[in-house]
Chains A and B, each alone.
Chain A
Amino acid sequence: MLHLLNSNLLPYFAPELLVTVWAMVLLLGDAFFEFTPRQTANLALAGLAVAAVETLLLDSAPIVFWNGMCIWDGSAKFFDIFFLAVAALVIWMGDEVQAPVEYGGEFAILPLFTTVGLMLLASANDFMLLFVALELVTISFYILVAYRRRTLAALEAGVKYLILGGLSSAFLVMGVAYIFGVMGTTRFDVLVNAFHGGVPVMAAFGLILVLVGIGFKIAMVPFHVWAPDVYEGAPNSITAFLSVGSKAGGLIMLLRIALGAFGGDGGTAVWYPVLTVGAILSLLLGNLAAIPQRNLKRLLGYSSIGHSGFILVAVIGAAAALPHLPRPQMADINTGQVAVSVYLVTYLLATFTCFIVLALLRTRLPGLEIHHLAGLSQRAPLLAAAFALALISLAGIPPLSGFVAKALVVLVAWNRGLYVLLALVLFAAVAALYYYLGPIKAMYWSEPLDRTPIIVSRPATVVLSLLIALMILTGFWPQSIACLISGATLAREGAAQGTLTAAPPTPSPSVAQATP
């Protein structure tokens, strides 16, 4: 630890360190100085802001440190900032939007621990660190999901998430054990070079078990079973956190493992069918099962499963080489990664808009079923507009940002020749229209039962307007996201070794090995 503090590698670890220390300080402060929940939340937000600035100042040249435990590259930087933004929104929602009486200060502190875990996931280069980070994420989520412990739904959600989460972690750690047993290492950058002439069967077995664990995180069918129930029972801000933060955490794990450690031809041959089946099932089940849903949180839960399907198509499209398909150009691979990042950003904007609106409406409407939204446009024009735009963006209708993301996924599938997935993506996008437009119809074309206007506080107005503006801006000018995520690519061994046919447009630098 001291050694780390003295070394020039400190900056690469400083954001995680800062958030951890800050979370502990706040816990102590909460205990001894009797901060109000609002003070705690504001302090937590300030800490996140400092960490975000620190992260933004780092360059994204790939570097491996801590005896190969950690990696820092463009993807790590992008996901760190992504998680910090998500955490800030979650803490702000918990403080501002949801009734503060119900919540104590720890409701703002626990997300900080989750965020540290997520950030560590983003820069894990070893199954050991990955597992520890994952447990940090999951355990803090157990508490957050069951936070309203006096309501039955929350308790049920908490228990389900706990037991199924434990089960999935067991799968994952079992898989890691197999991989370690066969290959003798848990380091990603060592693993990718260790497979000569294919992946041994038992290592492949381990990889599939790891994918089960990851599939649980990103709610990939058939490991999605927990999502609708838990989404419904958890507080709104935590549902959004699960839906965006936890999913993104699962995705960066997937990118590191599928494209990094198992990114060679042999590894790809193992995970390609698994993810393809997962993507197909998620696209179909997520979008079709959302249609009969009447509860908005369940509906968004199923739609979140569907979105995992869309993102998985982009992940598959970022593979270095797919079996039975022509080797892609470097540019096509990058498009796959860009698509994942763009999709996550647009998904963040739309999902948080949805859940902020739902959280605002929770105490003001008799319930959160579609028919309760009737005539909302007359009672709260801003909320109705924000919710409608967010749903339109999730549905992928131009000119909102969701369209750009969907268009990129289509482009990736087309470029890589994944025609079956392409057809399913298009079908799922059309099917999704059906359930996304239902709430909009209710808000704008139905008469309200109760005409009293719903007052929205000024901070909520500002944040919602900002999110709307970003959705529209990034839709009209997609390059603005591209600027944000420029360089958000993995430092990949495969790419550096020149196994790809075409010369990369921007040469991907080989991973620098820093000896501490």
Chain B
Amino acid sequence: MLPSSGLAWWLLILPLLSAASTLVYLHRKPNMAIFASVASASLCFLLALGIAAGSVGEPTPFEWMSFPGLQIDVGMILDPLSKGMLLVVTGVGLLVHIFSIGYMAHDPAKARFFGGLSIFMFSMTGIVIATNLIEMFFFWEGVGLSSYLLIGFWYDRESAAQAANKAFVCNRLADFGFMAGILTLWMMTGSVSITQDALQGALLHPSPVAENHALATATPPVTPASRQPLLTNGGGVQQFSGWLAFVLVLGLFAGCMGKSAMFPFHVWLPDAMEGPTPVSALIHAATMVAAGVYMLCRVYPLLLLSPPGMLFIAGIGCFTAIFAALIAVQQNDIKRILAYSTLSQLGYMVMAVGCRGPAAAMFHLSTHAFFKALLFLAAGSVIHALHDEQDIWKMGGLARKIPLTFWTFLIGYLALIGFPGFAGFFSKDVILAVAFQAHPIFFWVGAFTAFLTAFYMTRLVVVAFFGRARSNAAEHPHESGAVMTVPLIILAVFSAVGGFALGIEGFYHGWSISQLRSTGQLPSTGATPQLPALGLLLGTVVPLIMVFGGIFLAFALYRGRDSDPLHIKVLANKFYFDELYDRQLVGGQQLFARFLGWIDDWVLEGAILRGAAYLSVGVGELCKLIQTGSLQTYAFVLSIGGALLVYFTLFAH
């Protein structure tokens, strides 16, 4: 154990200072604001390096709220999981900050932009180091806020304002579920802490709240069915009734579904691309949307309490993966294709958690952060070069004109589709192996998604970078400056070697094993469970076939084309989900609205408001009877009140 020090708190203080100073008085001095923001991001990255290297330890938690029955300490959790995530968040964050200096150079409101980035860095770091769910929820709302502010950064654009609202509403809806999950956990265990010790305590020892509390009697009597062990490998793990555990898992997962844009909350993420591209890279691809996955890994021992819950998680993840990949096949906006690909990859990660592979999920989360940030920043470089052109059919032939952007994009592309040797190849393999172990269906759907991924990404590269230029802008692009290309190169290096050279996989594997052992869900001795050889073999070979098949097919279809030969309306229209939600607004919701209107008229306004009004008028009248202003009446009321109390307390038995 390292000596505790307060140094780590600066991880939160620096970006907060930067955000506050920017928003309070630096907003008219953009260069100062940029300096403050980039400096805080750099220092945070250095701190994260120090933390990862072990030279900066956990600070002593301080008591935030302490009342009997509710004790919340604010602290920092610095275990392998958060160390890895911190490196990703601050590292990618720093690169995006630097990239933004170039990308946002001509925007008059760039100070506000960097202020928003600093709020984001503050909140995201907070999520990673939170030691309890209330603390996490606080920062969780913080990233929601910064996401809202940055999606709607160009608020004079109607679509951006709409998209910001959509993201905000979707996330708030899901957060209600998250809050319910947190409260369920508190009711079950009497604590909201998610440190390893706390989870261990909650799972291994009966809690005073659950025992002594009226709540315990509120749960239905234990039936023989629910008395069966919830965990196959968890000797001595405290048993909660099955449905309560299911509610808990569902609630926590609801938070993840909002933040990580799982089906059916996925609609906000593609629209979030209305924000500036660096924001898409940092918040809506690499880090914030992965916060849901991170949270699931953080509370993983709790998820294990409910196998049906785990199945639900895996199912939603798996469905989102293939569903988003299908939509991506028919999109034409370069950022939207990447957004749907993000959805699909997030689906992979969530599926991995549901298939009992949190280490695999975190591995993919890390590599995905590198290559997806790279892809978005490179796409940003393309858009910058073409003066805000985002339609891939109006690009073409860019490979030779902006070579640096092209080569880095190509590396990101290879990493994303899982080309052998690149980062995505390794992490996707592990996920598919884990999925195979859970159920072959997950495996095959995942493998088919890999095929689709290769297909739509190859389509993107072929159409945008090869062939002939299909617009004026595409004929005379200009390569971006060093402040934008250097971050691309750095990310490209990580995307290329992140799969095998950095030891990320083993790092998370070790963490996962120790987490499971300490919470009693894995015997503390004996061999660590290994993935089956067949799964690994299939997980390597099948996707390879799929990937090459996808590349080949896309090449064959799109090479030399100037327009899309495929017309799959249902995919181009994203399975009509926006229309469905819109129609709900117009049709179904109209009905609902009429119903609500009826409730409003008759129940709320009629019964409650008018009732309350009548009641209060009635009470008021009654008061007037009492509150006559006449002293005699007051004295009478006071005395008669005393007399009645005496009568009913002493003599009315």
Does A216 touch B at the CB level, under 8 Å?
A: yes
The answer for the CA separation of A229 and B635 in the assembled complex, in Å, is 14
Does A192 touch B at the CB level, under 8 Å?
A: no
B611-640 interface with A by 8 A CB criterion: 612-613, 615-617, 619-620, 623, 626-627, 629, 631, 633-635, 637-640
Does B223 touch A at the CB level, under 8 Å?
A: no
The answer for the CA separation of A156 and B630 in the assembled complex, in Å, is 10
When distances are taken between beta carbons in the complex, the residues of chain A under 8 Å from B212 are 329
Q: A226-B634, A292-B617 are in contact. Are A212 and B642 (CB under 8 A)?
A: yes
When distances are taken between beta carbons in the complex, the residues of chain B under 8 Å from A477 are 64-65
* B30-38, B88-96, B404-412, B644-652 - interface stretch: B644-652
Shortest B361–chain A CB gap in Å is: 33
Does A289 touch B at the CB level, under 8 Å?
A: yes
A478 contacts B65, C-beta separation under 8 Å = yes
When distances are taken between beta carbons in the complex, the residues of chain B under 8 Å from A277 are 645, 648
When distances are taken between beta carbons in the complex, the residues of chain A under 8 Å from B649 are 204, 208, 270, 273-274
* A68-76, A113-121, A162-170, A344-352 - interface stretch: A162-170
* Other-chain residue from B67, B613, B640 in contact with A335 (beta carbon distance below 8 A): B67
Interface residues contributed by chain B, number (CB under 8 Å): 36
Does A36 touch B at the CB level, under 8 Å?
A: no
Does B68 touch A at the CB level, under 8 Å?
A: yes
The answer for the CA separation of A408 and B64 in the assembled complex, in Å, is 15
Shortest B405–chain A CB gap in Å is: 45
Shortest A269–chain B CB gap in Å is: 9
When distances are taken between beta carbons in the complex, the residues of chain A under 8 Å from B645 are 208, 211-212, 274, 277
Does B440 touch A at the CB level, under 8 Å?
A: no
A167 contacts B639, C-beta separation under 8 Å = yes
* Other-chain residue from A168, A208, A331 in contact with B69 (beta carbon distance below 8 A): A331
Shortest A83–chain B CB gap in Å is: 24
When distances are taken between beta carbons in the complex, the residues of chain A under 8 Å from B66 are 479, 482
Does A434 touch B at the CB level, under 8 Å?
A: yes
When distances are taken between beta carbons in the complex, the residues of chain B under 8 Å from A211 are 645
The answer for the CA separation of A434 and B611 in the assembled complex, in Å, is 13
Does B641 touch A at the CB level, under 8 Å?
A: yes
The answer for the CA separation of A335 and B648 in the assembled complex, in Å, is 30
A382-414 interface with B by 8 A CB criterion: 408, 411
* Other-chain residue from A225, A289, A329, A431 in contact with B637 (beta carbon distance below 8 A): A225
18 extra A-B contacts, CB within 8 A, seeds A160-B631, A292-B620: A156-B629, A160-B634, A164-B634, A208-B642, A222-B637, A222-B638, A222-B640, A225-B626, A226-B634, A274-B645, A289-B616, A291-B613, A292-B617, A477-B65, A478-B65, A479-B64, A479-B65, A482-B66
The answer for the CA separation of A205 and B648 in the assembled complex, in Å, is 11
A196-231 interface with B by 8 A CB criterion: 201, 204-205, 208-209, 211-212, 216, 222-223, 225-226, 228-229
Does A159 touch B at the CB level, under 8 Å?
A: yes
A204 contacts B64, C-beta separation under 8 Å = no
Among all A-B residue pairs, the 7 with the closest Cβ atoms: A222-B641, A331-B68, A291-B616, A212-B642, A225-B634, A335-B68, A288-B616
The answer for the CA separation of A74 and B212 in the assembled complex, in Å, is 29
Q: Which residues of A contact B (CB under 8 A)?
A: 156, 159-160, 163-164, 167-168, 171, 201, 204-205, 208-209, 211-212, 216, 222-223, 225-226, 228-229, 270, 273-274, 277, 285, 288-289, 291-292, 329, 331-332, 334-335, 338, 408, 411, 415, 417, 431, 434, 477-479, 482
The answer for the CA separation of A160 and B646 in the assembled complex, in Å, is 25
The answer for the CA separation of A231 and B626 in the assembled complex, in Å, is 16
The answer for the CA separation of A46 and B636 in the assembled complex, in Å, is 44
The answer for the CA separation of A214 and B616 in the assembled complex, in Å, is 27
When distances are taken between beta carbons in the complex, the residues of chain B under 8 Å from A204 are 649-650
Shortest A328–chain B CB gap in Å is: 10
A482 contacts B612, C-beta separation under 8 Å = no
Does B214 touch A at the CB level, under 8 Å?
A: yes
Can you show 29 pairs from A to B with CB atoms below 8 A apart? A156-B629, A160-B631, A163-B631, A164-B631, A164-B634, A167-B639, A201-B650, A208-B642, A208-B650, A211-B645, A212-B642, A212-B645, A222-B637, A222-B641, A223-B638, A225-B627, A225-B634, A225-B638, A273-B648, A288-B615, A289-B623, A292-B620, A332-B68, A332-B69, A415-B69, A478-B65, A479-B63, A479-B64, A479-B66
Does B70 touch A at the CB level, under 8 Å?
A: yes
Shortest B436–chain A CB gap in Å is: 46
When distances are taken between beta carbons in the complex, the residues of chain A under 8 Å from B631 are 159-160, 163-164
Of the candidates B612, B642, B649, the one having the most CB atoms from chain A within 10 angstroms of its own CB is B642
By beta carbon, the residue of chain B nearest A272 is B649
* Other-chain residue from A209, A228, A229, A329 in contact with B642 (beta carbon distance below 8 A): A209
Shortest B72–chain A CB gap in Å is: 9
When distances are taken between beta carbons in the complex, the residues of chain A under 8 Å from B627 are 225, 228-229
When distances are taken between beta carbons in the complex, the residues of chain B under 8 Å from A208 are 642, 645-646, 649-650
The answer for the CA separation of A292 and B617 in the assembled complex, in Å, is 7
B638 contacts A411, C-beta separation under 8 Å = no
When distances are taken between beta carbons in the complex, the residues of chain A under 8 Å from B612 are 288, 291, 431, 434
Shortest B652–chain A CB gap in Å is: 10
Shortest A304–chain B CB gap in Å is: 15
Shortest B128–chain A CB gap in Å is: 21
A216 contacts B638, C-beta separation under 8 Å = yes
B557-578 interface with A by 8 A CB criterion: none
By beta carbon, the residue of chain A nearest B209 is A415
A164 contacts B638, C-beta separation under 8 Å = yes
The answer for the CA separation of A273 and B644 in the assembled complex, in Å, is 12
When distances are taken between beta carbons in the complex, the residues of chain B under 8 Å from A225 are 626-627, 633-634, 637-638
By beta carbon, the residue of chain A nearest B638 is A223
Q: Interface 1/0s, chain B 34-76, versus A by CB < 8 A?
A: 0000000000000000000000000000011111111000000
B620 contacts A289, C-beta separation under 8 Å = yes
By beta carbon, the residue of chain A nearest B644 is A222
When distances are taken between beta carbons in the complex, the residues of chain A under 8 Å from B613 are 291-292
A411 contacts B650, C-beta separation under 8 Å = no
The answer for the CA separation of A490 and B638 in the assembled complex, in Å, is 30
When distances are taken between beta carbons in the complex, the residues of chain A under 8 Å from B639 are 167
Shortest B168–chain A CB gap in Å is: 18
B619 contacts A285, C-beta separation under 8 Å = yes
Shortest B296–chain A CB gap in Å is: 26
The answer for the CA separation of A479 and B634 in the assembled complex, in Å, is 42
When distances are taken between beta carbons in the complex, the residues of chain B under 8 Å from A289 are 616, 619-620, 623
When distances are taken between beta carbons in the complex, the residues of chain A under 8 Å from B619 are 285, 288-289
When distances are taken between beta carbons in the complex, the residues of chain A under 8 Å from B69 are 331-332, 335, 411, 415
B578-619 interface with A by 8 A CB criterion: 612-613, 615-617, 619
By beta carbon, the residue of chain A nearest B214 is A417
When distances are taken between beta carbons in the complex, the residues of chain A under 8 Å from B648 are 273, 277
Q: A212-B641, A331-B68, A477-B64 are in contact. Are A205 and B646 (CB under 8 A)?
A: yes
The answer for the CA separation of A478 and B70 in the assembled complex, in Å, is 12
Shortest B66–chain A CB gap in Å is: 6
Q: Interface 1/0s, chain B 527-565, versus A by CB < 8 A?
A: 000000000000000000000000000000000000000
B646 contacts A223, C-beta separation under 8 Å = no
By beta carbon, the residue of chain A nearest B635 is A167
When distances are taken between beta carbons in the complex, the residues of chain B under 8 Å from A338 are 67
Q: A222-B641, A434-B612 are in contact. Are A411 and B70 (CB under 8 A)?
A: yes
The answer for the CA separation of A329 and B69 in the assembled complex, in Å, is 11
By beta carbon, the residue of chain B nearest A222 is B641
The answer for the CA separation of A274 and B631 in the assembled complex, in Å, is 25
Q: A159-B631, A289-B619, A292-B617 are in contact. Are A167 and B650 (CB under 8 A)?
A: no
When distances are taken between beta carbons in the complex, the residues of chain B under 8 Å from A288 are 612, 615-616, 619
Shortest A152–chain B CB gap in Å is: 12
Shortest B213–chain A CB gap in Å is: 9
The answer for the CA separation of A431 and B214 in the assembled complex, in Å, is 28
When distances are taken between beta carbons in the complex, the residues of chain A under 8 Å from B638 are 164, 167-168, 212, 216, 222-223, 225
Shortest B604–chain A CB gap in Å is: 12
Of the candidates B615, B640, B641, the one having the most CB atoms from chain A within 10 angstroms of its own CB is B641
The answer for the CA separation of A291 and B633 in the assembled complex, in Å, is 23
Shortest B648–chain A CB gap in Å is: 7
